[in-house]
Structure formats: structure tokens, C-alpha cells
Amino acid sequence: MPLGGIALAADFAIVVVTATVLSYIARRTGQPTLVAYILTGIVLGPVLLGIVTEEQLIEVMAELGLGFLLFVLGIEMRFDRIKDILRPIVNIAVGQTILQTAAAFGIAFLLGFRGMDVFIIALATVFGATPIIVKLLDEKDELKTLPGRIDIGVLIVQDIYLVIVLALVGAGLEGTAGEILFDVARILGLMAAIGAVSYVAYQYLLPKLLASVASDRNVLFVVGLAWAFLFIFVAEALELSVEVGAFIAGLSLAQLPYSTELKERMRPVTDFFLVVFFTSIGLQLEADYLLAYWQEALVASAVLMIGNFLIMFYLIDRENFAPETSFLGSINMVQVSEFSLVVGALAVTQELVDEPILGYLSLMALVTMTLSTYIILYNNRLYELAEPYLGRFEDEDQRDASLSITEDHALLVGYDPVVRETLPVIKEQFDDVVVVDRSAENVDELESMDVDYYYGDVRHGEIREQADLETAGFVLSMARPSSVNRQLIEETEDDTLVIATAEHVDEAADLYELGADYVVLKEVMAGELVGEYVQAFVEDRDRFRDSARESMNRIRELGGTPTEPPREEIGTAADVDGGGDE
């Protein structure tokens, strides 16, 4: 290997090891790993040790890291999560973007910044830290609460705005006002065209394409990766940024049932590229750059955190939500996000601003993200302290009651014949029914039914979180292997009714000991039913034959024959798709 290649491999090894150590420390102190990645670059770069330089390959991989970040961000944007509160969310998000941009502009101007510096700072400091907010709310089981859904909705609108900002900054923002307006119109037009192509693909191409490969999850991963690179190539060919293409590619996949499984498959690759990307930002900084405006950064951080809270509280309260919803939805969104570094780094690359501005944005992001992590963790305690002062915002006509989330739902894992035949009864007993299954053959049928459906492996933590396992009132799992059912039982509440399946008596006894309320042994159940049929035959042959004809007609409705039921419809215990491979 050439000496340059050895040096680059050594740099990568140092980056990965340092990022791993700092990520562990961050987790132990309750901090997001993104902060650890930025600190990795600061520690290894010119600010402290100076032992890693930003080589050309690292720059290329950092660019890919940003593309993957925007791709995963697009996959996160499922509009069905916020459709029932879409109007107030749009009102809040648009107002937040305008008011916080104005506030950031005013603060930067008062602190002495001028010209393009003020403009870039104002654009960069509007966004919330989507990965951090989503992760922390998820860990606290607050993602599906009303404040959590409002925050997610606002972040979705912000992310669309982010892509537009990145495209504009990437274009350079140079020339006369007329030339800049022309560039803006061109960029928005091209984005709309790519979005239209993406929408057509989502409607007519992607469902068939992904259904044909979903049974092989490795192929699903490759197809998803190829889809991202296709849009990245098109965006670059049209002189748009990599981020635009990646984001729109993710957005088109997000609305399909395969998105969560695909995102889980891509997570290790994405995490690696994110390490490189955020480390590369730290490597760009020198001590003089990072500390050039440290006093201004601390002042701006404090003022913006308070200002962001007040702006969000005003906007949420104006939409007639309760004080608790307004407070929690606002306190979660006070930080300057990692995307300020994305915008700042791109502006430095385009020579719109100098490195000290990136240092200013970096310091603000580190300070506000660190503080806001603890604010989100203790948001309910902060509300208890503020509650006595929020009484004047109470209103009898507030909309929260009509938008509450239903708990005690039914969760069905693995769409096999037992679940299929039981589902109508379960729907009569529960207002909300969630089905998790990873069989591509069942996608169309489940999407046409009045149930929430997630395609994927229930062993993935995000699948269980989206299905809201912890708050389920009833769980029916026909999944294999047995480790899947063990995990489901261990993560449910004590008062949850759990019915699971087992292949043999020892496994059933183990599940009962863990807390299962009933364990289905299919051979035993089949024997009991045959015994009942024999008894019915002895007592009343005509009634028995009528029942047999009904069973035969049912099998024919499913598309099989009385002697050979269709395998793709009926399946076997090993084919049930809520679990994983043996």
C-alpha cells in the first residue's frame, strides 16, 4: 500500500477510535453522539492535538455523510403522523421560521456582524436539531404525545426549508439582486421538478419495485441505496446540491411501508458517514477560529434559547393548544441545531463567509445542544415549576382533547392464518389495532384494512417504538423464533394481555414463566379442534358436514383447494414475518 494510503487508513482508525470513546462518554453523560462527533474533530484537529488533517478522501466521504444524513432525514418524514394536525403545524412552522430568522438576524446585527455574515448566521440558526429531538423524545416515550407530534411536524417543515437553504447557499448567492432572484427561481423550479418525478415514482413505480425485492432485505438495502444515489446524480447533473437529491429520494420512500425496515438496514452505514462528516467540521476549525467570537456566541446562545422558547410558545398557544402542550412543545425546540454547522460549512466552502463564522456557529451549536439535551430530559419537571404561572393561558375550547393519542391499543405481530382469522374480533374490541409483519406478500392486504401497519422485523427497536409496544393493552404474536416472543413479553407492561406462540412444551413453559397470559401450541390446538370435530360428527353428522362445507368454501375464497391450502396465503410457523431468521 502506498504511504499516502497507509497514512489515510491510520487517520480513519484514529477518527473511529476517538469517536467511539467520546460517544461512550457522551452516552454516559446523557449527551447526543453528534456532539461527540464534532468534539472528535476538535480534539484531533488543529484546535487541540493536530494529528489528523482533512484529506481529500475525508472531504469526499464527509460530503457523502451529509447526503446520507439528508436521505435518512427524508425517510423520517411520514406525513401520516401529523395529518390530523397539519394546518396548525404549518401555521406554527411558517411563523417560527419567519420570527426566529428575524430574531437571529437582529441578534447577530446587534453583536456587530455585518453583510453576508449576518445573512448566513440568520439562515443557519433557525433549525431544530431533528436527530437529537426525535431520539430524546423517543427514549422518553413522548414522540407520539401531542407536544411531540407538534415538534415533529414543525421539524418536517423546517427540514424542507433546510434543503432550500442548502441549495441556495450551494449556488453561491452571488451577483445582483436580479441574478440572485433568478437563481432562487431556477433552484425552486428544479426542486419542484425532481419532487414531481419523485411523487410519480412513489405512486406508480416504487410500490411494485420494493414489493418485488422486500422478501430479501439485503436486496432491499441495495435498492434503497441505489435510489438515493440516482437522485444524488440527477441533482448534481442539474447543478443542485447532493443534499437536495438525497432528501427527495428519502422523502419518496418515507411514505411506503418499507421505510422503517430500510432505514434500520442503512443505519450502520449512515452512522459511519456521519462520524466522518461531523468530525470533518471539527477538523476545519482552528483554535483562533473557534474562539474568535466566543463571547458573542455565548450571549447569542442564551438570548436565542430564550427567544426560541417564547416564539414557539406564542405560536402554539395561538393555535389554541393547552398551556402544557404549548410549554412542552416549545421547551423541546430551543437549541441551535447541528444543521447550523452544515449551512456554515457550506458557506465557507463557497467563500461566502470566513472560518471564524463557522467557529461561532459551532460553539453555539455545542452549547445549546448540550444544554437542551438536559432541558428535554427534564421537560416535565420544568413544566411543574412553571405551571402556576401558566393558568392565564387556559381556555375551555382548546383543541387538545380532540387530538389525544389512544393508548391500550392491540398489537399483532406476524400476519399468519391465526392472526388473519382473529383480526375481525380484535377490531371489535379495540379502537386502534397495529400490525407488524415482514412478509411482502401481505403488504397490499394490510394497507387496504383499517389498521396501522408496519413492515419490518419486530426485533428492530424503532419498529417496536413506532408500534408503541410499551403502551399496548393486548399483544398477539405468532412470530418465530422464540427469542422474539421473549423480547415482546419482557417489554410489555404487567397489565398487558399477551398471547404468543411456541413450538414445543418446554418453550411454552418458558414463555408462561416470563409472563405470557396464553401460549398457543398449534399441534395441541389442532388436536383439540379435531377432537371437537369428531365429537360433533358422532352427535350430529349433518351439522358436521355443513361445518365442513363452510371450511371448504373458506379455503376456496383464499384461493386454494380443500386438500392443499395456498402456501403464500396460509404460510407456516417458520414463515410468520414478525420475527427474524433462525
Q: Domain residues of the chain, as ranges?
A: 58-386, 410-575
Distance, CA of 352 to CA of 172 (rounded, Å): 7
Residue with cell 422503517: 260
Backbone φ and ψ for 495, nearest 5 degrees, come out as -90, 5
Q: What is the pLDDT of residue 532?
A: 66
Q: What is the pLDDT of residue 518?
A: 83
pTM: predicted TM-score of the whole model, two decimal places = 0.66
Identity of the residue numbered 153? G
Phi-psi region of 194 (alpha: psi -120 to 50; beta: other; left: phi over 0): alpha
Distance, CA of 421 to CA of 571 (rounded, Å): 13
Task: Extract the C-alpha cell encoding 338.
Answer: 447541528
Task: Extract the C-alpha cell encoding 66.
Answer: 451529509
Any idea which architecture 410-575 has in CATH? 3-Layer(aba) Sandwich (3.40)
Fold of 58-386: Na+/H+ antiporter like fold (1.20.1530)
Task: Extract the C-alpha cell encoding 261.
Answer: 425496515
Query: By CB neighbour count within 10 A (0-12 exposed, 13-18 middle, 19+ buried), where does 379 fall?
Result: buried
Distance, CA of 535 to CA of 529 (rounded, Å): 10
Task: Extract the C-alpha cell encoding 508.
Answer: 411454552
CB-hemisphere CA count at 13 Å for 417? 14
Q: Is the bond into 323 cis (omega within 30 degrees of 0)? A: no
Sign of CA dihedral 350, 352, 355, 357: negative
Chain centroid to CA 270: how far? 13
Low-confidence spans in the chain with pLDDT less than 50: 1-3, 401-406, 560-582
> Closest Cα to residue 232, out of 56, 63, 59?
63
Rg for the chain, CA atoms, rounded: 27
Task: Extract the C-alpha cell encoding 460.
Answer: 428492530
- The H or E element that residue 497 is part of is strand 497-502
Sign of CA dihedral 61, 252, 125, 140: negative
Contact 435, 453 (CB under 8 A): yes
Contact 250, 228 (CB under 8 A): yes
Task: Extract the C-alpha cell encoding 177.
Answer: 439582486
Model confidence pLDDT, tens digit, residues 470-519:
778 888 888 777 788 888 888 888 788 888 888 877 888 888 888 888 88
Distance, CA of 221 to CA of 219 (rounded, Å): 5
Q: What is the pLDDT of residue 299?
A: 94
Model confidence pLDDT, tens digit, residues 105-130:
999 999 999 888 998 998 888 877 77
Distance, CA of 360 to CA of 342 (rounded, Å): 13
**H runs (alpha helix) in 111-241:** 116-124, 130-139, 146-170, 177-200, 206-213, 217-237
Identity of the residue numbered 255? Q
DSSP 8-state assignment for residue 1: -
Sheet of strand 518-521: strand arrangement = 452-455, 433-437, 410-413, 474-477, 497-502, 518-521
DSSP 8-state assignment for residue 404: P
CB-hemisphere CA count at 13 Å for 553? 6
Residue with cell 418499507: 258
